[in-house]
């Protein structure tokens, strides 16, 4: 909750110099909320002693675990700016369950749980993408989960129907999509390398407080953009056709579903 500047003892002191660490939040919707009760918008009609405008300062939220069996799109809510709060090494966990039942079409079976097999196995890939702030603190990381299972996986000739829960926020990806995307990057290797180099410098630029160093970064970016334009201009007709063919294959990929033997989500 926001505090009141120079608060009297019976009101709300500003939160300062706090460490929130090593906690577990289980099935708690939006467990981290900052600026609760802020009423800055009413400053014109309320006395200063009632305005809760003092945001937390020098506050660290570290090494906490949030688990929500249903998923939580907003584990952190800012009712007011939380610019005095630093986050580091917190973990958001959601358990995804992949289960099967015997095919409805089998006589006298119905939707009976399958206790016989197959038990799907999965590979958790390395971090596929991540985002850091100017202090090199990781803000977010995305992982790929590769499940090799599906309803066409038979047990003693019996078809199985699969379901995934919770399903909210889960996107199925055709297993061939990353392969085709990587092939496009291979065709455009020089272009991709220059784009990556520019992106890294553009990420650093807002964090650079030294004007001279910022000028150097801007000059480097400008030079790389010239190289990028030249690389695009020099792409051969063969390369462009290969890329077009790969893009057409991507467009023609069927939507991934739990009917697939292998998919990524």
- For the cut 80, the answer to whether the pLDDT of residue 84 exceeds it is yes
If one counts every other C-beta atom within 10 angstroms of the C-beta of residue 190, the result is 14
Name the pLDDT band for 86 (thresholds 50, 70, 90): confident
Q: Give CA–CA dist 27/65, Å, rounded.
A: 11
- For the cut 90, the answer to whether the pLDDT of residue 16 exceeds it is no
**221-259, pLDDT tens digit by residue?**
999 999 999 999 999 999 999 999 999 999 999 988 776
Q: So what's the pLDDT on residue 29?
A: 85
DSSP code of residue 107: T
Q: So what's the pLDDT on residue 79?
A: 85
Are the C-beta atoms of 6 and 48 separated by less than 8 Å? no
Query: E strands within 149-201?
Result: 160-165, 173-174
Q: So what's the pLDDT on residue 229?
A: 96
Query: E strands within 89-242?
Result: 91-93, 97-102, 121-132, 138-148, 160-165, 173-174
Rounded to the nearest integer, the mean pLDDT of the chain is 77
**110-160, pLDDT tens digit by residue?**
444 444 445 555 555 555 666 666 766 666 666 666 655 544 444 444 455
Q: So what's the pLDDT on residue 141?
A: 63
**Interval 192-207 mean pLDDT:** 90
């Amino acid at each position: 909750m926001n505090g009141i500047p120079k608060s009297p003892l019976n009101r709300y002191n500003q939160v300062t110099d706090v460490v929130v660490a090593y906690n577990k939040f289980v099935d708690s919707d939006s467990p981290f909320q900052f600026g609760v009760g802020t009423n800055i918008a009413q400053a014109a009609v309320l006395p200063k002693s009632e305005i809760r405008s003092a945001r937390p300062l020098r506050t660290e939220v570290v090494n906490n675990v949030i688990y929500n069996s249903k998923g939580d799109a907003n584990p952190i809510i800012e009712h007011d700016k939380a610019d005095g709060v630093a986050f580091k090494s917190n973990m958001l966990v959601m358990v995804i369950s992949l289960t099967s039942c015997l095919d409805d079409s089998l006589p006298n079976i119905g939707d009976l749980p399958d206790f016989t097999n197959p038990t799907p196995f999965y590979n958790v890939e390395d971090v596929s993408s991540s985002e850091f702030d100017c202090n090199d603190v990781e803000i977010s990381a995305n992982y790929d989960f590769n499940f090799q299972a599906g309803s066409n996986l038979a047990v003693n000739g019996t078809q199985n129907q699969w379901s995934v829960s919770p399903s909210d926020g889960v996107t199925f990806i055709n297993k061939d999509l990353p392969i085709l995307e990587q092939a496009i990057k291979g065709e455009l290797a020089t272009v991709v390398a220059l784009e990556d180099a520019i992106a890294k410098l553009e990420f650093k630029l807002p964090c650079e407080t030294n004007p001279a160093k910022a000028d150097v970064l801007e000059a480097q970016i400008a030079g790389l953009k010239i190289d990028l334009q030249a690389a695009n201009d020099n792409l051969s007709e063969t390369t462009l056709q290969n890329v077009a063919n790969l893009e057409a294959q991507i467009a023609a990929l069927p939507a991934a579903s739990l009917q697939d033997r292998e998919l990524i989500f």
